[in-house]
Structures are given as structure tokens and as C-alpha cells.
Structure 1
Amino acid sequence: MSKEFQLQAPEQAEQDKPNSQFFTNIQRNELTDDPLRKESSNIPLSNSLTCGGPDSKSSSFFMALDSTIENMEQRTQQLIDKINENRKKDHEFMNNFRESLLMKVSSLAEKLEERVFSVYDHNSKVIQDKLQKFSDIMERIRQTETELRQVCHTVEMLYKDLCGQAEL
């Protein structure tokens, strides 16, 4: 009989041994609870259980015990296999979830980037328009400054002419 258990704890391995205290207690409890076994209670327990000799009750007990143990091993293996299958499914689910999440985050990042560039483009146009207006205003200021200098120069020349004529 091959055991394929993958998730077996050290305590479980001890209980699986036929000579362990676990099985001895079960065997004693079953023997004392069985009315047919009460007759053989005068026989020492170790002799009645370890000898597979002519006592057919003893051999049928061991056959039933072996069958029960095999049944438990099969059920345990099935449970372990089911746990492992569920773990694989969970792992696949998490991988799919991660990929889906990455795709959604990437999509949202692209949309955000497009929106940011759209805002940048709009702001650039607004800034460009304002810079153009500022440039136009600065050009008018230069022209006005040039005209003002010409006026000041003309006033200065007139003042010198008037002052020069008054001295004569």
C-alpha cells in the first residue's frame, strides 16, 4: 500500500504506526465495548490482539481495522488532493486577478496621461496667447517710451532755445 500524503504532520505519522499508543487505546476500547469480546476479557490483551492464530474474531477485527485504516488513508489522500487542487485554482485566480488589475491600472494610467497632456496643451495655448499679448504690450511700451524720449528731447531743446533767447 503506497502512501502519497503530502501534508502529513509529525504527530499524524506517530498515530499511523500500528504499535502506537493511539491504536492500543482504540483496540482496548473496542474490545471492552463489544459484548462478544467480554467473554475473552480474561485472556491478556496482548495475546488476543497480536496472535492472528485460530481466533477468527481477532482476525476479522484486524481485517476491519485494516479496511478502516485504508478507508481513512484514501479519504485523507482525497482531501489532500482537493486542497492542492483548490490551492492551484486560487493561484490561477490570483494570477488572473493580478493581470486584470495590471491591465486596468495601465489603462487608467494611459487615460490619465492623455488627460494631463490635454490639460498641458490647453494651458500651453493659454500661456502662448498671454505671452503674445504681453509681447504686444511691451512693444507698445517701447514705442511709447521712444515717443516720450523724443517729446522730452524736444521740450529740452525748446527750453534751451527759450532760455538762450532770454539772455540775449
Structure 2
Amino acid sequence: MSVTLIWKQSGCFHNESSNSPEFWPLSVSWAALDGKSSSYFAALDSNTENLQKRTQQLIEKINENRKKDHTVMSNFRESLLLKVSSLAEKLEEMMFLIYDRHNKQMQDKLQELSEIMERISQIQTELRQVCHTVEAAYKDLCVQPEVPTAKEENVVAKRGVGSGKDR
């Protein structure tokens, strides 16, 4: 009789066959078989057949349980994949909600920045106009002849009188 165990390892089914004598009784008392040999062998054959049947039943039960375990693990894997996929979708939806909120905040800040930059541009234009006006006024002051004050005229007149005597 051949004994076959089936198990799954690394995604593949493996078979292990055994014809080894460990399953069968090895020591038989031949002296006790004098006249009762046929009944003894019949009983021995019956016991051996029962052991073989029981062994085969146990092996079949082990194989069935392993197949059930494989089915349970496959179902668990599928269930886990569905759950992970569902959680990933929820996480992605939450990310998009956060992106939308941040986009609105950034849009508000960009609008505010645009208004500030426009105001800065207007102030720069006004400052340039003021600088041109000050520059023009300064040039006008430098080009016009100075009008002497009364004190300055008095000093000039005295010099003119004194300078005429010396001549």
C-alpha cells in the first residue's frame, strides 16, 4: 500500500509517498504459529487492513483539512484585499478634500498678494512722480539768479565804495 500526504507550501501542492515498513508490524513470533497459522495470518491481515484503512482515512482527513485551510486563507486574502482597497479609496478621498481646502486658502492668499502687489506698483508710480517733481524744483532753484537780501546789498555797497577809493 502506498501512503500519500499532500500539503501546500509556497503556493504549490507537494506529495509525499511512503512505502516504508514503519507502518507495518515487523516482528512476528513464528514459533507461535504452529497450528494456528492460518487464523493468526487472517487476524494479522485483518489488523493490517484495518490499520491501512485507518491510516488512509487519517491521511485523507489531513488532506481535506489542508484544502479547507487553503480555502480559508484564500478567502481571508480576498477579504483583506477588499478591505485594504476600500481603506485606500477612503484615504484618497480625504486627501482630495484636504487638497480642495488648501487650494481655497492658497487662492485667497494669492488674491490678497495680487492686491498688495498692485498697491505697491501704484505707490512706486506715485513715488517716481514725487521724485521727478522734487528734482525739477531743485533744478529750478539752482538755475535762477539769487536775489540778494537787504543786508547782502548793504555789504556789497560798502565794498564798492571802499574799492573805489583805493583806485
TM-score w.r.t. length of structure 2: 0.74
What is the aligned-residue identity percentage? 60
Structure number with larger C-alpha Rg: 2
For 1:87, which of 56, 66, 86 is the aligned residue? Answer: 66
Give the alignment's Cα RMSD to 1 decimal.
2.2
- The partner residue of 1:106 within 85, 98, 103 is 85
- Equivalences for residues 121-132 of structure 1 within 5 A: 121-132=100-111
How far apart are 1:9 and its partner, in Å? 5.2
* Matches of 2:133 and 2:91, distance apart in 1: 62
Picking from 39, 50, 53, the partner of 1:74 is 53
CA distance in 1, matches of 2:145, 2:101: 65
Aligned to 1:119: 98
Shift of 1:165: 1.8
Structure 1: tracts of 5 or more residues without a match: 38-44, 49-54
Consecutive unaligned residues in structure 2, runs of 5 or more = 6-15, 148-167
Name the structure with the higher helix share: 1
- Which residue is 1:5 aligned to? 3
Deviates more, 1:155-164 or 1:61-70: 155-164
Q: Is the 8 A contact 1:6 1:80 kept in 2?
A: yes
Say if 2:2 and 2:17, in contact at 8 Å, map to a contact too. no
Corresponding residue of 2:131: 152
CA deviation after TM superposition for structure 1 residue 133, in Å: 0.6
4+ residue runs over 2 A deviation: 7-10, 12-17
